[in-house]
Amino acid sequence: MTNKDARTPASAQEGPAEAGTSVGWHKAYVEGSRPDLRVPVRQVHLTNGQSVGLYDTSGPYTDPLVDTDVRRGLAPLRENWIVARGDTEEYAGRPVRPEDDGIKHTAPRGGLRNLDAVFPGRPRQPRRGRDGRAVTQLAYARRGEVTPEMEYVAVRENVSPEVVREEIAAGRAVLPANVNHPEIEPMIIGKRFLVKVNANIGNSAVTSSIEEEVEKMTWATRWGADTVMDLSTGRNIHTTREWVLRNSPVPIGTVPLYQALEKVDGRAEELTWEIYKDTVVEQAEQGVDYMTVHAGVRLAYVPLTANRKTGIVSRGGSIMAAWCLAHHRESFLYENFEELCEILAAYDVTYSLGDGLRPGSIADANDEAQFAELRTLGELNRIAKHRNVQTMIEGPGHVPMHKIKENIDLQQEVCDEAPFYTLGPLTTDVAPAYDHITSGIGAAMIAWWGTAMLCYVTPKEHLGLPNRDDVKTGVITYKIAAHAADLAKGHPGAQEWDDALSDARFEFRWEDQFNLALDPDTAREFHDETLPAEPAKTAHFCSMCGPKFCSMKISQDIRREHGGSKAEIEEGMAQKSAEFAAAGNRVYLPLAD
């Protein structure tokens, strides 16, 4: 997680002074081979003069030198790279229709507004590959090209650009980056790289405003979300997505089926391939970086869910199952998969092949329905790769610990090591209100064993809509799971972060502990609850054991008294014994002595 690259950060500025933000760190940038390739780093400056660079997902919002405005959107960082490749063209684009925003089509059909109208920022036209060609990072990687996006993630991950290119070319990693989302800071998802975390946002039956969704996105990335999925349903779905995309420094994922269902007023059986395809084009033109497609829910698999305890728990899966049964036909997503690949390739939209039949309870884990769908996803993965579409595979769900490894092992086998992207899994069903924890356990384990990205679960899972605090709790819990996995995988540099924090702890550098923490604000707040005074932050003790009854203090005394190395201590033990006693080394003084 730490960035110890020899290159000095290009600029290191004061961190933002907004309320609640920690001091002691700075937004810095590591420059690549060209001046427009600047990779952000959260540079933590320690009181001992050292500094530690941490992976930074927060975007320009934490750079006080960048003037951000959600009505204008972020600067199109990648635009020159995309244009310079010369393989895309701007075009008029599909007209935006009222029903794209869930407004009933009693209004006249046809173009009503263009993209400019739904977002007040700079005017833009959508872009796609010339003559329908694949403009994907996969295509470039296979041709041996290292794109600026690949170099960017190489700097971010402290690996060589060639490793990035190889992993993408082999289909073991994806770099989601729609040509219509030039605002993103590129990132990579694959088992050779740091484990990533996705946060879901989105309004639902209970309406939340567009501004709230943008705010949830920036809030989630501030705490470390690597990608964000906009799962909005209902009204203003198109416009909300436009605002989120124009302001997002991270790749945005969606489930186009949700919006398609809105367009047929929620009647699953009225869905058609044409409506679905139109929705995919609409979202691809806006810049969605990856899309969940439930093409593995085949007609023949639906009966396999009949004896399940909790049936089908994926929204997309249940919609497709209802469609298949209503028409008694094979899924239109499965039957038109090749055509869908052509569309995605022309924008570089990455597939996230959905697990519509994932288990929704411990009882249903690893059953026939789940694994039948997984094998189909493996088949679709090969088709997508053949068409140069980047692809990752979604995974469960609810799985007891002893059945987790089988999931990643089978997925890696049947999907040719394509990146696995799992929801948890939850390791028990009995703790609603704590499913960030039931699932954080499973997430850490499955990531250790090779899962590339973890979809977060908030405390509200199964109960209600997550608020701002829930989003933060979900992201932090999943950053813990991801980092624990990075450590267990022996990811180069991962342990430097732990070491820096533990050094600070042992040396009672409280401010450094806070600033290095995943959540500096809460760590400081918890410390101050018991010992609020400023001197306590330089004190050689903490509130747990009192002023002198502190094991670390005693350990330090031992080292000071007996030398710093094992040999010194052994050599000096005998002669030091008397001195130690003579010095009256009190390890504890009662407060009221």
Residue 539 interacting with a copy of itself (CB under 8 A): no
Q: Is position 230 an interface residue for a copy of itself (rule: CB under 8 A)?
A: no
Residue in 44, 281, 321, 414 binding a copy of itself, rule: CB under 8 A: 321
3-state DSSP assignment of residue 338: helix
Contacts to a copy of itself from residues 243-302, by CB under 8 A:
261-262, 265-269, 299, 302
Least distance from a copy of itself to the Cβ atom of residue 121, Å = 28
Residue 546 touches a copy of itself, criterion: CB under 8 A:
yes
Q: Which residues, numbered 118-147, are part of the site for a copy of itself (CB under 8 A)?
A: none
| CA dihedral over 459, 465, 466, 468, signed as positive or negative | negative
| Whole-number Cα distances in Å, 226 to 56, 191, 195, 453, 475 | 9, 15, 9, 9, 10
**Strands, E, within 202-296: which ranges?**
227-230, 252-254, 290-293
The tokens describing 223, both together, are 């705490």
Written as six digits, the tokens of 17 are 């002074």
In the bound complex, what is the minimum distance in angstroms from residue 300's beta carbon to a copy of itself?
Answer: 9
As a whole number of angstroms, the distance between CA 419 and CA 190 comes to 5
For residues 39 and 485, which CB has a smaller minimum distance to a copy of itself in the complex?
Answer: 485
Q: Residues 41, 29: contact at Cβ < 8 Å?
A: yes
Give the separation between CA 121 and CA 243, rounded to whole angstroms.
Answer: 9
Residue with smaller CB distance to a copy of itself, 36 or 525: 525
Q: Among 322, 372, 383, 410, which residue sits at the site for a copy of itself (rule: CB under 8 A)?
A: 322
Q: 460-480 burial, b for 16+ CB within 10 Å, e for fewer?
A: bbeeeebeeebbbbbbbbbbb
- CB of 66 or CB of 401, closer to a copy of itself: 401
Of 84, 307, 338, 469, the one binding a copy of itself by CB under 8 A: 307
Write each residue from 355 to 384 as x if it is in contact with a copy of itself (CB under 8 A), else as -, in one continuous string. -----xxxx---------------------
Q: Which is nearer to a copy of itself, 64 or 311 (CB)?
A: 311
Q: Is 356 annotated as a binding residue?
A: yes
- Alpha-carbon span 541 to 290, nearest angstrom: 49
Q: Give, as ranges, the residues between 183 and 222 that touch a copy of itself (CB under 8 A).
A: 204-206
Quick one: which of 17, 19, 328, 535 contacts a copy of itself (CB under 8 A)? 328
Known binding residue 402? Answer is no
In the range 43-102, which residues lie near a copy of itself by CB under 8 A? 102
Instruction: Please report whether residue 511 would count as binding a copy of itself according to CB under 8 A.
Output: no
| Residue in this structure with the two tokens 């604000």, named with its chain if needed | 521
Quick one: 115 or 365, whose CB is closer to a copy of itself? 365
Size of the residue set binding a copy of itself (CB under 8 A): 145
Q: Which two tokens stand for residue 563?
A: 């030398």
258 marked as part of a ligand binding site? yes
If one asks whether residue 318 binds a copy of itself (CB under 8 A), the answer comes out as yes
Computed from CA positions of residues 140, 142, 148, 153, in that sequence, does the dihedral angle turn out positive or negative? positive
Q: Considering only residues 400-439, where is the footprint of a copy of itself by CB under 8 A?
A: 400-402, 427-434, 436-438
Q: How many CA atoms lie within 13 A of 429 on its CB side?
A: 12
Beta carbon nearer to a copy of itself, 24 or 64:
24
Helix then strand then coil, in percent of the chain rounded to 5, is 45, 15, 40
At its nearest, how many Å lie between a copy of itself and the CB of residue 304?
Answer: 6
Task: Return the ∠ at Cα 405 (arms to 295 and 456), rounded to 5°.
Answer: 60
Of 447-486, binders to a copy of itself (CB under 8 A) are 448, 459-460, 462-465, 467, 476-477, 479-481, 483-485
Distance (Å) of CA 566 to CA 557, 558, 572, 575, 593: 15, 12, 10, 15, 36
Give the Cα-Cα-Cα angle 20, 465, 473 (nearest 5 degrees).
40
**Residues annotated within a binding site for substrate:** 200, 229, 258, 294, 314-316, 355-358, 394, 421
Residues in binding site for Zn(2+): 398, 462
